[in-house]
Amino acid sequence: MADIIKLLPDHVANQIAAGEVVQRPASVVKELLENAIDAGATNVKLIVKDGGKTLIQVIDDGKGMSETDARLSFERHATSKIEKAEDLFQLMTKGFRGEALASIAAIAHVEMQTKPKDTELGTHLKIEGSTVIFQEVAAVPRGTSMCVKNLFFNIPARRNFLKSDTVELRHITDEFHRVALAHPQIAFHYYINGSEMFGLPIGNLRQRIVHIFGSKTNQKLVPVSEETQVVKIGGFIIKPEFAKKSRGEQFFFVNDRFIKSPYLHHAVLNAFEGLIKPSYHPGYFLYLQVDPASLDINIHPTKTEVKFDDEHTLYAILRSTIKHSLGQFNVVPAIDFESDPNLETPYAYKNKYAQLPKVTVDAGFNPFSEPKSSDTLTKPKQHQVKKNLGGQSWESLYVGLESKMGNEIEFKGEQFESDTITGSLFEEQEDSTQALATTFQLRRKYIVTSIKSGMVVIDQSRAHQRVLYEKFLRSGTGKQSVSQQLLFPLSVSFSKSDMAVLEEIKDSLKAIGFDFTATSSDVKISGVPLLVPESEVGMVLDQLIADCQQEVSGDSFSQTDLLSKTLAKSLAVKTGEVLETASQLALVNDLFACKEPMASPFHKPVYITITENDIDKKFI
């Protein structure tokens, strides 16, 4: 039998490795930024064009590489971070696999310019699809410049799976935020298609957060600090009143590396229990420092999922630390009976003693005896009555009254002047009690109404979503939306990335009914759709931005459809709300007036029908 196992060629092996390391342009950005930080850079520039598909360039002022290191860095499993297997348990750097540059060079056009600090000339290297085009000595600035062009040029199938430029750019921005927040001691500059998006100077952690997410974030932050033998915790949490319905600013860093940990996230949610609504999410920027030997970060190629040796202890410490910070900075409402100012002794009476009131008792008082003229309580009334009667008693006023009335007054009949009815301002409504009686609410979740063949059970939240969705969709696609102008415009602040999203969907928002003007730091809202309450404008816009960050299409109709779904979900009646009988009937009528009443905007059933035969079968 012939041998069938063969060694793969290097270029094939590199492309297979690239499938693990490079999933999208954001993966390249992450690897290059981490290499720049490991090189000791103090100033890093990121330049991106066309969502990273055309160009990704990272320029740093680190220590650079020699001519040999520059060539060797593109070989598989070539790294300066570790030397033996035991080093994997004492990692303090970011890129240690030695596969990043080899994988990137296998699927893109890579150009490197690097020069160490103590040399006059550097190295200029160009590689296309794992093939070295040229390598020469050149006069380049100190540090390293990595330029990645035409990503996935030799793998068309992978390139076709990439999303639109807007979506890919958003993933790149997320990676930039994660790296920049982990290293406030490094200056970062981020350029998109020739314009600067972020210019982050060197500063402390609070300044870095404010520079990224806006100046108004400063008032939302609550410091967190705790140091134990197991872990050292620092960073900030966002006050409960600023919690969002979408997952906003939630960042975990372990040893200056961004991670995703649902277990630790649950500890934060547990600490906020009772302070935020169940459907809202808290924001946090938490930095954990642990012993590298107790941490395994090599369980996933992206190195964002980690494994702790003692997760239960970390959970308890993190939860108690956040609760302590919430209480220390008076974020949690407290009940303190001793601090009531009404119970405190005034300063003027501090050294005085209480005086007992003097009480006098009339031992000879008899409540059943006749009142005397000298009685102080009855004397004014007695005097007033006698004065009005001229000395006579009140009984004398009614003497002979019955005889006079009987002789002089005779009632022959009663006649009333009739009112002339000329018309009614409001039309008289028919008694709809019988019609309304066929609708009732079941467990504050379902609306039950009768039909000819039986009854219909309607999910009130999904039904209202369908009604609102079709209303917003008609106004958005028909370009005839009605905007409710506000007497006092609202000012809502957003981060730069959120402002970019609002700028992209501005036309669709105005088509639905929003009227706003965007400035460099905030948004002035002067008009909202008729169905959007003024108190929920900020929450609705946050949800719109979050949904658009996950799914954005260039088609205007698709944008309008996405915005209509988000608005319908945010403003619809929720499960648990009590509806009056008239509101129930109105919702049922509006639902069956829709084009697609059977399914919600998110393709879930809205109602079920129970026929009379189905009910009869239950009694057999």
Whether the pLDDT of residue 590 is over 80: the answer is: yes
Q: Give the pLDDT of residue 512.
A: 82
488 or 9, greater pLDDT? 488
CATH number belonging to the domain at 439-609, selected among 3.30.1370.100, 3.30.930.10, 3.20.20.140, 3.40.640.10: 3.30.1370.100
Torsion 165-170-171-175 (CA) sign? positive
Range 205-328: architecture per CATH: 2-Layer Sandwich (3.30)
Q: Residue 401 — pLDDT band, cuts 50, 70, 90?
A: low
Distance CA 559, CA 582 (A): 34
53-80 pLDDT, tens digit each: 999 999 999 999 988 888 888 887 777 6
Q: Give the pLDDT of residue 283.
A: 92
Distance CA 25, CA 148 (A): 10
User: Mean pLDDT across the chain, nearest whole number?
Assistant: 81
User: Closest by alpha carbon to 272, among 322, 221, 236?
Assistant: 322
Distance CA 162, CA 168 (A): 8
Beta bridge partners of 502: none
116 or 375, greater pLDDT? 116
Residues of the chain with CATH 3.30.1370.100: 439-609
Whether the pLDDT of residue 344 is over 80: the answer is: no
Distance CA 69, CA 557 (A): 52
Whether the pLDDT of residue 425 is over 70: the answer is: no
The reported pTM is: 0.70
Secondary structure of residue 479 in the 3-state scheme: coil
446-483 pLDDT, tens digit each: 999 988 888 999 999 999 999 999 988 887 776 556 78
Q: Give the pLDDT of residue 304.
A: 77
Distance CA 190, CA 197 (A): 5
Virtual CA dihedral for 586, 588, 590, 593, nearest 10 degrees? Answer: -140
Q: Residue 396 — pLDDT band, cuts 50, 70, 90?
A: low
Q: Give the pLDDT of residue 6.
A: 77
Whether the pLDDT of residue 606 is over 60: the answer is: yes
Q: What share of the chain is helix, strand, coil (3-state, %, to 5)?
A: 40, 20, 40
Q: Give the pLDDT of residue 474.
A: 83
Q: Give the pLDDT of residue 367.
A: 78
Distance CA 405, CA 413 (A): 17
Whether the pLDDT of residue 23 is over 90: the answer is: no
Q: Give the pLDDT of residue 435.
A: 44
Range 386-407 average pLDDT: 57
For residue 170, give both structure tokens.
């958003």
Residues of the chain with CATH 3.30.565.10: 10-200
474-521 pLDDT, tens digit each: 877 765 567 888 888 888 888 887 888 888 888 888 888 888 888 766
Q: Give the pLDDT of residue 554.
A: 44
Beta bridge partners of 48: 56, 192
Fold exhibited by the domain 10-200: Heat Shock Protein 90 (3.30.565)
